[in-house]
Amino acid sequence: MGIVAGQVGLTLAVTAGSLLLGGTRSGLSALVGGAIGTLASLYMATSFFRLGPGADPSRILNRVYRGEAAKLAVTGVLFTLALVYMDVEFGPMIGAYGATFLAYWIALVWGLEGLNKR
């Protein structure tokens, strides 16, 4: 859930920048793109952690595969809905969506730093 929280923060930062640099439509587009990435990750996280810590490893792996497939489907559906039904600018939307991936890299760096301190 820390990654999802990071994605929310990144989405808000990119949205603020887009709002200041490009105006309301640009800011809304960035918010939509960041929300798509964040909601897909939130779905994956809640799906994955439903099993609990004592679950069978094969069930956990199966849940990861199904969760990733569903995450891709959710992302595709949300992008389709945004592009068809909303007046969004593609650049800010895809930029904010891409920025949500930074949360994974930040978590990786923090995790590696934690391992080096041990």
CA distance 98 to 115: 27
Summarised one tens digit per residue, pLDDT across range 21-51 is 999 999 999 999 999 999 999 988 888 778 7
Helices (H), the chain: 2-22, 24-48, 57-85, 90-99, 102-116
**SS3 category, 2:** helix
Domain boundaries, the chain: 2-116
Q: Which amino acid is at 36?
A: I
Predicted TM-score (pTM) of this structure: 0.86
What angle, rounded to 10 degrees, do the helices at 24-48 and 57-85 form?
Answer: 160
Report CA torsion sign: 33, 35, 37, 39: negative
Summarised one tens digit per residue, pLDDT across range 4-27 is 999 999 999 999 999 999 999 999
